[in-house]
Amino acid sequence: MSDAARHTVTFDESASGERLDRALALALPALTRSRVKALIEGRRVTLADGTTIEEPSRKVKTGDRFVVDIPEPEPATPLPQALALDILYEDSDLLVLDKPAGLVVHPAPGNPDHTLVNALLAHCGDSLSGIGGVRRPGIVHRLDKNTSGVMVVAKNDRAHQALSKLFAAHDLTRIYQALVWGEPKPRTGTIDAAIGRHPVDRKRMTVRKTSGRAAVTEYWLEKRFGPALHPLASLVGARLGTGRTHQVRVHLAHIGCPVVGDPVYGRKSRNTAAPEALKEFPRQALHAARLEFRHPTTHKVMSFATELPQDFKKLVASLNGVK
């Protein structure tokens, strides 16, 4: 089997009821079951009619016909790619930047290149810290692809270790701005709710009562839009007390105010009065607005803040006239 190929597999009654990842691994012996599972979760397996399959546990039926698309192998290490970076500060130890929405932080299935790491390798060269591993050099923390805002990157291993300790101890300030549906009640508060993997959908995080890791988010109302009694949406600030995956998105959804445009934890508005710009915003309206930390070498407190990106700012402006 070549490294890059397309294979069509049709199952007879002998495979009926079998898990798809196991059945395909048996039908294509050059692929391990874990490799097949990764291909399915990477949207590389479809039915003959073109329908994408994303559930490795899907049960096979007699006569099912699947197309398995095996991509070209990715480079063992990311390649330098000259991409524009909005750098806020840089010295020999670290670099602080304003990440745009749409930019993936590091290579991953489905995003093998044109990531922040590729851009950093081109900008920093061999000085970039290697502690994060070959695929994540310099990366101390990350923002989701469609979240914009301030990030710090380590340029050497000593800085990486020091910054990682700050993030692990939550000994720094991380503040987000989010446009959410409705209005948080109370208008200011602290969400103290453990977060863990969803028991069914492993790609999602959720609040867990009996398991999960401690997660704390302080929030406050900055502005609300729409009727006083039933606001349509609100701009809120959120300070992270911990740093769990998708923490702000999960916690705001937990209190009934999901982030506008969030494809995983959000919702579609049934409010006919909601502007189309609000209902159709193409990403989560979430921005890492401020990052404050102590420099690993000078020990000076450094603070960085950025404005909302243009698409987010335009969305908020469109709501100012909503009554």
Q: Which residues are catalytic?
A: 144
Q: What angle do the packed helices 33-41 and 20-27 form, to 10 degrees?
A: 120
Compute the distance between CA of residue 97 and CA of residue 88 in angstroms, rounded to an integer.
5
Instruction: Count CB-CB contacts under 10 A for residue 200.
Output: 7
Q: Identify whether the C-beta of residue 205 lies closer than 8 Å to the C-beta of residue 250.
A: yes
Compute the distance between CA of residue 323 and CA of residue 310 in angstroms, rounded to an integer.
23
| 71 DSSP assignment | P
Compute the distance between CA of residue 213 and CA of residue 211 in angstroms, rounded to an integer.
7
Q: Long-range contacts: 157-165, Cβ < 8 Å, 24+?
A: 157/129, 157/130, 157/131, 158/93, 158/296, 159/93, 159/94, 159/129, 159/296, 159/297, 160/129, 160/131, 160/132, 161/131, 162/296, 163/94, 163/293, 163/296, 164/131, 164/140
Compute the distance between CA of residue 187 and CA of residue 257 in angstroms, rounded to an integer.
11
